[in-house]
Amino acid sequence: MKFKLHPCFVFAFSGCALLVLVQTACDITSGNDTVRNVSINISGTYRNDNGIPRRQSGAVINSLALTQAGDQLFAIDNEGTRWTGRIGRADGNRSASISLKGRTTTGNEVVMTGNVVIDGTSGRMTGIWVEPGFTSEFSAQAEVAPQPEPQPTPSPTPPPSNGNGGNTNGTGGTGGGTGGTTNGTTPPPPTITFPPIPG
């Protein structure tokens, strides 16, 4: 007795297998894993005793311990919530635009967008705090590590001028001119004088 699979069953099984492969590929592939080097370091613990945002849900967030890896940002607030984000555009080692995502203790998702300005070893973070249903301003300050000064790009050293070489070339040119004159005029044949023959 031979067992035959119904065509509908084969088609359904193939479709399920294809769907699993597509979902697996989507889970593996991610375009946000690229780390970009930037010229500024904004790592530090940003604090505001009155609360980093002027308005928020849940327990007051008054500190963000921020660390940086390239343009990637990671932070933990005073309630233990983790935040992630990145640096957008950096203006040398003095300022940078940032974005951070996290949650309040009520579970509301928060998006912070703004700027960090570095002045010596002081960093100031300002921007807009966005929660579902309302927005607020935020600000905080931190002590940061001294920024590395940008190193000037060395310019190539030109080769030393060769004045003697120029004179040599000039002399060579004169020599060539003299040679041309010699070639253009046929010199007279040499005169040979014989002594008188004794008689």
pLDDT per residue as tens, the chain (199 positions): 554 555 554 445 455 444 433 343 333 334 456 788 998 999 999 999 999 999 999 999 999 999 999 999 999 999 999 999 999 999 988 999 999 999 999 999 999 999 999 999 999 999 999 999 999 999 999 999 887 666 566 667 777 766 554 444 544 444 444 444 445 566 677 776 666 666 5
Could you list the residue range(s) of the whole structural domain that residue 95 is in? 44-143
Exposed e or buried b per residue across 150-184, where buried means at least 16 C-beta atoms within 10 angstroms of its C-beta = eeeeeeeeeeeeeeeeeeeeeeeeeeeeeeeeeee
| Domain assignment present for 150 | no
DSSP assignment letter at 180: H
* CATH number, residue 99: 2.40.128.30
Structural domain tally of the chain?
1
Tokens 């849900």 sit at which residue?
A: 57
Report if residue 167 sits inside a domain.
no
Burial 97-122 (b: 16+ CB within 10 A, else e): ebebbbbbeeeeebebbbbbebeeee
